[in-house]
A and B are shown apart, each in its own frame.
Chain A
Amino acid sequence: MKAHQIIPSIITGDAISNHILEIDARLRQWGYDAHIYAQHAAPELENRVHSYTELQQHLDAPDDLFIYHYGIYHHSVNFFRAAQGKRLFIYHNITPANFFAGWDKTNERICRIGRMALGSFNDCDLALGDSDFNRRELVDADFAEVKTGVLPIFLTLSQFENQPSDTGLARQLRQPGIANWLTVGRVVPSKAIEDVIRLFFAYNKYINPDSRLYIVGSDRLVSYRQALATLVEELDLQEQVQFSGRVSPAQFKTYYECADLYVTASHHEGFCVPLIESMYFNVPILARDATAIPETLGDAGILFADLGYAEAAQMAHIMISDTAVRRQIIAKQQERLAFFAPDRVETILQDTLLRLGLPDGR
């Protein structure tokens, strides 16, 4: 039996791309003739990925499985719409367009269209979200509840085991007596990086001046990045706040290894992979109580609500300096990490195939 996974773009090191590769590996293991299709593929993946136009020749096959990964609107969805076989729609969430209003017209338009079109896929055989938060958005977009489910992202955390750290960066970050805050992800308005900086200001200027904030992730949205730079300057934090931009895998690992606290103030997350990475690296998490964040954390980490900079900064201090509290938070995070173990996700994927009436490899 053939299985076709479709995504507009696939790269290495990205959580969704890894997820697709993991699904592909499982499907092959279970006897499927599995293929991945994309318009853009990273050079190192070109031998594993077909051009999405090649899908045309398979659309009439009534027994094939078609899996569409939806995280942005792309015209390749029309192949999915036209496919005659079993159609599985996987929703990775799309940032609400209004977050980009006034910052980036292209992203605002693409996100708006993506969310507008969501309901038009509700005739698929099954629709899954990475989280229950995403699944509920599907139901809100008129997908039949009985035809929805949750498939968490396959997290290939074991890749970090073989990844060497960046020793030069580690020397720079690990300075005696310095508390390192970390936030990871695209530097975009929905992540509310300004709130992380303001929160860090309260901590650095009023509680612990020996502290640094590292903002790790792509910062190509120039208008927003400049506004954040102005904020950093106004709060006189130029020495303490560092934007890394995109980093190498070695640097990525090192930032986590040297972090004393992970902070996110994001307003919108469909899953939030950095929370899982923080759990893996034993970094206590302080996160905004918003969208899928509380669901991903379960009972782990500490949540904060809006407009409590002083309280949240003091909580950060306790998480960094109170050994007993810190140890318990890390222990609970490790417990939560097990919930996202690949074996468990694999079973959910098998159950999904079963729901579709397809062979599940068991």
Chain B
Amino acid sequence: MQTIKIKDPKLNQTAIFQQLQDALAQMPPLPNLAQSGPASLSRTTVPSQNDAELPDFSHDLIELVDKAVLQETEFSSNAPAIGPLIVKFRQLWNWMSTRWYVLPIMRQQSDLNM
């Protein structure tokens, strides 16, 4: 009975397997179920576990994916004392003038890149 695996030692395997064999002897043969349904269902095969192996181009591919999603610019300023004010002003100006127009376009491009 290679199909069934029982690991619990408290279950009486001999009795269960005998019960199974008796029932199977009474059961008419099944149709070829593995081939039933559309052909597309038969193509699902178990892949080898090593498709984590890296083909030569994989690092380039990962880098491309990393760059695929466009990031918003983080404003910064090295100006002493008034630097934070300049950053705040740029953020406000961007929020008012371009954000609502540019951000949706960035999202569209990111979706396309992915």
Looking at chain A's contact residues, the main secondary structure is helix
Q: On chain B, which size bracket covers the interface?
A: 35 or more
Q: On chain A, which size bracket covers the interface?
A: 35 or more
Which B-chain residue is minimally distant from A332 (CB atoms)? B8
B23 touches A231 (CB 8 A): no
Question: Smallest distance from the beta carbon of A338 to chain B beta carbons, Å?
Answer: 15
Set of chain A residues within 8 Å of B66, measured between Cβ atoms:
75, 78
Taken together as a complex, chains A and B put the C-alpha atoms of A223 and B10 apart, in Å, by 44
B37 touches A307 (CB 8 A): no
B3 touches A115 (CB 8 A): no
A302 contacts chain B at the CB level, 8 A cutoff:
yes
A98 touches B45 (CB 8 A): yes
Most A Cβ at <10 Å: residue of B4, B27, B43: B4
Contact with A along B37-56 (1 / 0, CB 8 A): 11011011111011110110
Set of chain B residues within 8 Å of A267, measured between Cβ atoms:
44, 46
A317 contacts chain B at the CB level, 8 A cutoff:
yes
A-B pair number, CB within 8 angstroms: 150
Question: Smallest distance from the beta carbon of B82 to chain A beta carbons, Å?
Answer: 21
Taken together as a complex, chains A and B put the C-alpha atoms of A75 and B113 apart, in Å, by 13
Question: Smallest distance from the beta carbon of A244 to chain B beta carbons, Å?
Answer: 20
Contacts of B1-54 to chain A: CB distance below 8 A: 1-11, 16, 19-20, 23-24, 27-28, 30, 33-34, 36-38, 40-41, 43-47, 49-52, 54
B47 touches A99 (CB 8 A): yes
A206 touches B28 (CB 8 A): yes
A102 contacts chain B at the CB level, 8 A cutoff:
yes
B92 contacts chain A at the CB level, 8 A cutoff:
no
A314 touches B27 (CB 8 A): yes
Set of chain B residues within 8 Å of A140, measured between Cβ atoms:
49-50, 52
A202 partner, pick from B30, B50, B58, B68, beta carbons under 8 A = B30
A304 touches B44 (CB 8 A): no
Taken together as a complex, chains A and B put the C-alpha atoms of A325 and B4 apart, in Å, by 15
A97 touches B51 (CB 8 A): yes
Set of chain A residues within 8 Å of B11, measured between Cβ atoms:
325, 328-329, 332
A115 touches B37 (CB 8 A): no
A315 partner, pick from B20, B44, B65, B72, beta carbons under 8 A = B20
Of A116-124, A144-152, A339-347, A349-357, the one with at least 4 CB within 8 A of chain B = A116-124
Set of chain A residues within 8 Å of B34, measured between Cβ atoms:
198, 307
Contacts of B47-94 to chain A: CB distance below 8 A: 47, 49-52, 54-55, 58-59, 61-62, 65-66, 68-69, 71-72, 74
Set of chain A residues within 8 Å of B16, measured between Cβ atoms:
315, 318, 325
Set of chain A residues within 8 Å of B44, measured between Cβ atoms:
99, 189, 192, 194, 267
A219 contacts chain B at the CB level, 8 A cutoff:
no
Contact with B along A207-225 (1 / 0, CB 8 A): 1000000000000000100
Taken together as a complex, chains A and B put the C-alpha atoms of A206 and B61 apart, in Å, by 51
Contact A231:B36 (CB < 8 A) given known A99-B47, A119-B54, A318-B20: yes
A230 touches B33 (CB 8 A): no
Q: What are 28 A-B interface contacts by the 8 Å CB criterion?
A: A56-B74, A75-B65, A97-B47, A102-B40, A113-B61, A115-B52, A137-B49, A140-B50, A192-B44, A202-B33, A206-B30, A227-B40, A235-B36, A268-B46, A299-B7, A299-B8, A300-B7, A303-B7, A309-B30, A310-B24, A311-B1, A311-B24, A312-B4, A314-B20, A315-B4, A315-B16, A322-B19, A331-B10
Query: What are the 10 A-B residue pairs with the smallest beta carbon separation, nearest first?
Result: A308-B3, A231-B37, A98-B47, A311-B3, A303-B5, A198-B33, A299-B7, A115-B52, A96-B47, A116-B58
Binding site for A on B (CB under 8 A): 1-11, 16, 19-20, 23-24, 27-28, 30, 33-34, 36-38, 40-41, 43-47, 49-52, 54-55, 58-59, 61-62, 65-66, 68-69, 71-72, 74
Binding site for B on A (CB under 8 A): 53, 56, 73, 75, 78, 96-99, 101-103, 112-113, 115-120, 137, 140-141, 189, 192, 194, 198, 201-202, 206-207, 223, 227-228, 230-231, 234-235, 267-268, 289-290, 297-300, 302-305, 307-312, 314-315, 317-318, 322, 325, 328-329, 331-332
Extra contacts, 4 of them, besides A75-B68, A230-B38, A297-B7 (Cβ < 8 A), are: A201-B36, A227-B37, A303-B7, A315-B4
